[in-house]
Structure formats: C-alpha cells, structure tokens
Structure 1
Amino acid sequence: MVEVPAPLGPSARRWLVTGASRGIGHAVAALAASRGERVCIVGRDPGIAGIAAAIGGDVFGISADVTSPDDVARIAAEVEARWGGLDVLVNNAGLHRGGGLERIGDADWEATLATNLTGPMRMIRALAGLMPQGGSVVNVGAVVGFRGFPGDSCYGASKAGLTGLTNVLAVELARRQIRVNMVVPGFVQTEMTATISERARKAIISRIPLQRMGTAEEMAEVCWSVAGSTYMTGSVVFTDGGLMCNL
C-alpha cells in the first residue's frame, strides 16, 4: 500500500537528498515527503524525474553528479529558483570501491574520494548560502570510517574524511546557526550490500548484537530525527545494531 503524503503546510521544510535514486537516500526522501515536506532528490539516474513522481507529494528530481562542479552549481541554481532557499541537506551519495592495498588503482581512489568526500564538501559550500538560520546538514557516514576492515581503504578513508569535515563545519557554520551532523549506518539491506557473499554476510551479522541487518527505512527515521534536533551539531549518531560496540 502506497502511503499518501500529508498535505503541505506553511511550515513544510525544503529538503535536498543526494544519492536518492535508491537505498537510504530514497528512503529518506520518501519519509520526508510522506510527512508533508518539500523534497528535491538528486542522483545520476537519468530517470530521476520518474523516481520523484513515484514518491509522490511535493518532490522533484535533478539528474546530476555531485563529483561535477558544474552539476553542483546547477543543483544550487535550480533549488534557489524553485524554492528560494533550503532547510535540510542530506549528503548520502556514495561510491564503494573495494580491494586490498596492492589492488587499489589511482582511479578507484580518486573516484571514491570525489564522491564520498569532495562531493559533500561542494554541496555544502554551494547550498549553505541558501540556508536560513536553523538549517541542517546530515552527512551519511559508515562504520568502516571508524574501524579497520581489510580491503576497504578507499571507502574507509573517504568516510573518515567526511567525519572530519562534519566536525569542522559544525563549528564553522554554527555562527550562522546551521547544524552539521553525521549518521553512521551499520550493515544495511541496500544494493551496495547485496553483492556481499553469504559467508561474509553471516560473519558480519554474527558481530551485530541485534543479530540482523538494518533497513533503509530505519536509517531514514534517524536522519529525520537528526535533521530536526535543534541543539545537536557536530554529533555522530551510530545506527548499527550495536556493531561498533562489538568490534
């Protein structure tokens, strides 16, 4: 059954979610729309407009790549033209390139950092000027940014860098009352984790105290809460079923 979005009210916030074609980003966008918010979804999928229409409510899509400075400028211009400002930015777009140290190519390294670290920086830089006092940025991190997982140096380094960016910008943007926080999902059922072998899947779940994977919808609820927490900034919120406690 499709949830019918609540009617828009005068207090509806304006959300922009990157990497919203699927997975956690899509779940965040759908949740916000279902609660009467205005939502812009961004993704590289050329069918992003159709994805936005399927979510329903006051949602529109922009087909763009956060690694492209021109695309980021276009996103900011379109948001300003349509809404005149932005209240919530969720930096969810991510790229995972695995492989041990000897197998990592420069292209893999650079592509991963461009998407997972440089992309969020550019998005915040381009859109913070459109945010009023009380604006909120939610960066989506990863457990591998805090704990070492062999074969994940590209992804881990990029997400660790995003943690540092979150901390610095939380202080820097506080004078404008813009909050910057990070949500750190654990092992979540998404297309990114669907390729993991059954053996690896069981090994990871065995380390999760709640003994199961999370869902994109559960991550969306946390992003919603963090986005609206008016006295939270520079915080890192682990949503991992207790995985970090057991590593």
Structure 2
Amino acid sequence: MSTSKTWLVTGGSRGIGRAVVENATARGDRVAVFARKPATEQWTHPERVVEIPTDISDASSLGLAVDTVFETFGSLDVVVNAAGVHRGGRIGDVSRTHWDEVLATNLTGAFELARSVVPRLNEGASIINVGAVVGFRGFPGDVAYGAAKAGLNGLTQVLAVELAPRGIRVNLVIPGVVDTDMTSALAGRARDRLIAAIPMGRTGLAEEIAQVIVGVTDSTYMTGSIVATDGGLMSSFSSRS
C-alpha cells in the first residue's frame, strides 16, 4: 500500500514554497503548485509536480485551480500556504492599494483556499500557514504585512479548533529573515541591523524552513501551534520588551 501524500503548495514556484515542493517530492509525494508565475528552474522530480497558474487573491481563479487539483490527484493530504506579497510603508505612507493587495494575498487568499479545500480534505490532513515575525513583533514600516500575518495567526487558531474533530491539523510556521526574492530588496544598513538582532547571527535558508514545515506536517498530535524557525529573532525581541 502506498504511503505517499498529495500536497498543495501556494507560492510554490520560488522561495520557501519551492523548497517545500522539492522536499516533498524527494519523499515520493506528489505536489500541485499554485503560483502566478511558473518556476524558472527545473524541478528535481518534475514527474511529481503539477504547476497550476493561480492568483490566490482572485477567489474565482482559486476555486477553479482547486477543482483542477482534485481532478488531477483525486484527494489532498497537505496544504501549505506559502504565497506572500510584501509592500512596505508606515501608517501615514502606505497606500490603500498596497494595503488591499497585501491583505488579499497573505490573509484573504489563505481564507478562501481553506474554504475551498476543507470540505474535500482527507481525514488526518494537515494545513500549514507560513507566517512572519512581524505578525507578533512590531517592525516600523510593515503595517500592512504585519496586520496580514497577525490575522493569519488568528485564522490558524480558529481553524485548528474547528477542524480538530475531523482530525485535520492546522499550524503556523514562523520564518525569520530568509534569503528569498522577497527579502532581496533588504540591503545595506537596514539588513545589517536586522541580522544583528538575530541571536544566531545569520539569515535562514528556504530549505531550513521547508524541513520544519515537513516535520510539522508529520506531527500527528500537533495543531494550533506556532512554530518559530527564525534563528531566535522572536526571542530576541521578547527579551528587549
């Protein structure tokens, strides 16, 4: 009897999402990848990956993409919400357009995806939401992103309670500063100051976050948990409060 799983990873064409896809397929699992743009590098196991162009901020597009997943695989065991958009700006500077864009992708997209997949998830399935330290600790200039990620934590907690009777687990993994396309714009003194606040003294790798996500997926008694994988960044900010 096969023990392989079927995965859905949003934002799976790059960064943390891509690392999750590579980790899952290396185990022999099959993965549907939702992303606005296709992957720019060849997959290690392309026969186990199905890329479905999807804008998760568009509910109708998302619904059609989810239908395609079930038509292709027939079932779904793991959902990873790794898609994210970042737009910086303090409260007096961030535009309403950027605010709406960040909330639509980072929070509302996760909500709509859950509504679409939950009725069809296998018993014992796992949902992993990818949060951010800024959802728990204030960073000036991150009002939209911080609000979205804080909301994602709330969504995780409620879903964990609602879905536990079906054996569906919902957890939140919190990366710190990870070397991805999203963080590539952070440079110079701003980057140096942030790294200086990380007790481990370095940024993380997407592969390191992916390992934790896969581990949380395999943890059959874990739900509603907040799993920081940030080199100690959250602890560092706590100690300064």
Shorter-chain TM-score bucket reads over 0.9
> Which residue, 5, 11, 15 being the options, matches 1:19?
11
Q: 1:224 matched to which residue of 2? A: 214
Provide runs of 4+ in structure 1 moved above 6 Å: none
Q: Distance in 1 between matches of 2:44 and 2:230?
A: 29
2:88 is equivalent to residue 98 of structure 1: yes
2:241 is equivalent to residue 234 of structure 1: no
Q: 2:24 matched to which residue of 1? A: 32
Q: Unaligned 5+ residue runs, structure 2?
A: none
**3-state SS in 2 of match to 1:60:** strand
Q: 1:190 matched to which residue of 2? A: 180
What amino acid sits opposite 1:153 in the alignment?
A: V
Shift of 1:142: 0.1
Q: 1:1-247 alignment to 2 at 5 Å?
A: 10-45=2-37, 47-48=38-39, 53=43, 55-247=45-237
Q: Is the 8 A contact 2:22 2:43 kept in 1?
A: no
Q: Is the 8 A contact 1:19 1:42 kept in 2?
A: yes
Shift of 1:57: 3.8
Shift of 1:197: 1.9
**3-state SS in 1 of match to 2:189:** helix
Q: Distance in 1 between matches of 2:75 and 2:119?
A: 8
Q: Distance in 1 between matches of 2:41 and 2:163?
A: 32
Q: Distance in 2 between matches of 1:13 and 1:201?
A: 38
**3-state SS in 2 of match to 1:173:** helix
What amino acid sits opposite 2:137 in the alignment?
A: R
Shift of 1:242: 0.5
RMSD of aligned residue pairs (Cα, Å): 1.3
Q: Is the 8 A contact 1:41 1:52 kept in 2?
A: no
Q: Unaligned 5+ residue runs, structure 1?
A: 1-8
| Identical amino acids, percent of aligned pairs | 49
**3-state SS in 2 of match to 1:193:** coil
**3-state SS in 2 of match to 1:162:** helix
Q: Is the 8 A contact 1:33 1:57 kept in 2?
A: no
Shift of 1:174: 0.8
Q: TM-score, normalised by structure 1?
A: 0.93
Q: 1:5 matched to which residue of 2? A: none
**3-state SS in 1 of match to 2:116:** helix
Q: TM-score, normalised by structure 2?
A: 0.95
